[in-house]
């Protein structure tokens, strides 16, 4: 029930408001070790590294808390919780400026770019991405890759559909 409320999040000690909804200035936000102020966006966000500072928390609990937070990404190689694209950016301009991220207009939110998805299942779960088996790579679908016929026709993987006026995958 807690996670179904957009203003709430589950923490080790129970259900609480997200930092974004708790604080509206840098001093009160930064006074909470679980939060950090983002000066360029003027918002308070969850402090991903702050999970490890929760009293009596195990490493397994830090990992599960991080994975449950859509603003986080768990890096197994060095067992750290870092900001995901969703956690870093709330505007299309800032999101698209990061090559590891892409703006998902339907939601709208910033997500990991297709090129960063290295498994077929995670790639195909994203509507904007397509798995290229021959290249063992995830790419942006033609529809989102190109918005003009000129650019679409210049990509050997794509072709322009005059009826829908969109870029579509080329015939195999």
Q: Is the pLDDT of residue 63 over 80?
A: yes
Q: Is the pLDDT of residue 62 over 90?
A: no
- Confidence class for position 53, pLDDT limits 50, 70, 90: low
Half-sphere exposure of 50 (CA within 13 A, CB side): 18
Q: How far apart are CA 160 and CA 172, in angstroms?
A: 14
Q: Is the pLDDT of residue 115 over 90?
A: yes
Q: How far apart are CA 153 and CA 166, in angstroms?
A: 11
Distances from the Cα of 97 to the Cαs of 27, 70, 100, 101, in angstroms?
28, 20, 9, 8
pLDDT score recorded for residue 153: 95
pLDDT score recorded for residue 13: 65
pLDDT score recorded for residue 3: 63
Q: How far apart are CA 42 and CA 65, in angstroms?
A: 25
- Confidence class for position 12, pLDDT limits 50, 70, 90: low
Q: How far apart are CA 16 and CA 19, in angstroms?
A: 9
* Residue of 48 and 39 predicted with greater confidence: 39
Q: How far apart are CA 33 and CA 50, in angstroms?
A: 6
pLDDT over 90 percentage in the chain = 42
Tens-digit pLDDT profile for residues 80-95: 888 888 878 888 998 9
89: closest CA among 68, 110, 106, 112?
Answer: 110
pLDDT score recorded for residue 74: 87
Q: Which residues contact 18 (CB under 8 A, 6 or more apart)?
A: 7, 8, 9, 46
pLDDT score recorded for residue 129: 94
Strands 72-75 and 137-140, how do they pair?
unpaired
- Confidence class for position 97, pLDDT limits 50, 70, 90: very high
In whole angstroms, what separates CA 35 from the centre of its chain? 18
């Amino acid at each position: 029930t807690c996670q179904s409320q957009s203003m709430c999040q589950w923490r080790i000690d129970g259900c609480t408001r997200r930092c974004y909804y708790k604080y509206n200035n840098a001093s009160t936000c930064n006074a909470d070790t679980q939060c950090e102020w983002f000066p360029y966006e003027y918002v308070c966000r969850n402090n991903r590294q702050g999970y490890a500072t929760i009293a009596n928390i195990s490493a397994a609990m830090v990992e599960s808390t991080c994975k449950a937070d859509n603003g986080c990404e768990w890096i197994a190689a060095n067992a750290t919780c870092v900001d995901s694209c969703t956690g870093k950016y709330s505007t299309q301009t800032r999101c698209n400026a990061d090559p590891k991220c892409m703006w998902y207009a339907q939601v709208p939110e910033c997500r990991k770019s297709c090129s960063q998805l290295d498994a077929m299942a995670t790639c195909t779960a994203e509507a904007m991405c397509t798995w290229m088996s021959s290249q063992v790579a995830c790419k942006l679908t033609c529809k989102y890759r190109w918005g003009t016929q000129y650019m679409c026709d210049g990509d050997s993987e794509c072709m322009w559909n005059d009826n829908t006026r969109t870029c579509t995958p080329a015939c195999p």
